[in-house]
């Protein structure tokens, strides 16, 4: 599927899920499942790893609704699980979006999708460049942050060790930003979207609002 269709569909799902009821959420999950199925299950492992990284965020959502209930306790619990489910679905949708998409595909797709904003004065090329450079930097940050340092001494109080570790990490990130290098970024503007592929988001939209 064309990158523009993928990005447009993802943005459409993000908007639709904001007010989705359970049946509509199941429909979105079916769409995501079909994407993974057609890709022979690729990307599911990465999505599960991404899900494990936000487990504390999910738990915090649950605790907030339980600690500060909205209405009855059962209503708050339902809202908490609803919000958690939306976040999980969006994470899987994001993984399905970038599945087998190269950086050039993402650049080209974003450049075309942002076309309407160019009439409002937005420099599409500059916006895409900044986003891609940020993505490249984020990918390399874990190796920078994992570098060993000498702040884990046992004779130092725990709070001081945590503060020293945080300061050390910030220092390495700032130093890294001065020396990071990026590969060549090309924006292909002559790639046209097949008209029949626009049926995908249209069908998704129709089925979404036809569900009871």
Q: Best-predicted range by mean pLDDT among 40-44, 99-103, 203-207?
A: 203-207
- pLDDT confidence of residue 121: 84
Domain residue limits at 193: 3-42+99-210
Cα Rg of the chain (Å, integer): 21
Does a structural domain hold residue 75? Answer: no
| C-alpha–C-alpha distance, residues 103 and 4, integer Å | 13
Neighbours of 2 (CB within 10 A): 18
pLDDT, average across residues 149-177:
61
Q: How confident is the model over 172-177, as a mean pLDDT?
A: 57
The 8 Å CB, 24+ separation contacts for 148-155 are none
Residue 86 has pLDDT above 50, yes or no: yes
State residue 71 phi and psi, 5-degree precision.
80, -140
d(CA 193, CA 199): 12
Kindly state whether residue 149 falls inside one of the protein's structural domains.
yes
Is 47 domain-assigned? Answer: no
Report the C-alpha gap between 7 and 13 in whole angstroms: 10
Question: Is 27 part of a structural domain of the chain?
Answer: yes
What is residue 66's predicted lDDT score, i.e. its pLDDT? 85
- Confidence (pTM): 0.71
Which phi and psi (to 5°) does residue 204 adopt?
-60, -45
Q: Is residue 201 part of a domain?
A: yes
The residue written with tokens 């959502």 in the block is 61
Take residue 202 and report the two structure tokens written for it.
């249209």
Using 50, 70 and 90 to split pLDDT, how confident is the model at 148? Answer: very low
94 part of a folded domain: no
Residue 64 covered by a domain? no
Sign for the pseudo-dihedral over CA of 67, 20, 86, 74: positive
pLDDT: which is higher, 146 or 96 = 96
Domains held by the chain: number: 1
Distance CA 13, CA 15 (A): 5
């Amino acid at each position: 599927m064309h990158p523009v269709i993928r990005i447009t569909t993802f943005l459409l799902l993000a908007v639709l899920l904001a007010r989705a009821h359970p049946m509509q959420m199941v429909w979105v999950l079916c769409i995501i499942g079909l994407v993974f199925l057609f890709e022979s299950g690729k990307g599911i492992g990465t999505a599960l790893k991404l899900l494990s990284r936000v487990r504390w965020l999910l738990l915090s959502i649950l605790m907030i609704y339980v600690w500060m209930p909205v209405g009855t306790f059962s209503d708050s619990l339902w809202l908490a699980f609803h919000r958690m489910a939306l976040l999980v679905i969006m994470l899987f949708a994001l993984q399905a979006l970038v599945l087998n998409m190269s950086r050039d595909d993402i650049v080209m797709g974003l450049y075309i999708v942002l076309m309407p904003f160019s009439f409002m004065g937005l420099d599409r090329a500059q916006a895409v460049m900044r986003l891609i450079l940020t993505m490249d930097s984020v990918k390399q940050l874990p190796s920078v942050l994992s570098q060993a340092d000498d702040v884990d001494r046992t004779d130092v109080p725990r709070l001081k060790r945590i503060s020293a570790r945080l300061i050390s990490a910030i220092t390495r990130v700032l130093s890294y930003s001065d020396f990071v290098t990026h590969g060549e970024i090309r924006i292909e503007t002559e790639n046209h979207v097949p008209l029949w592929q626009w049926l995908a988001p249209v069908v998704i939209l129709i089925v979404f609002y036809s569900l009871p």
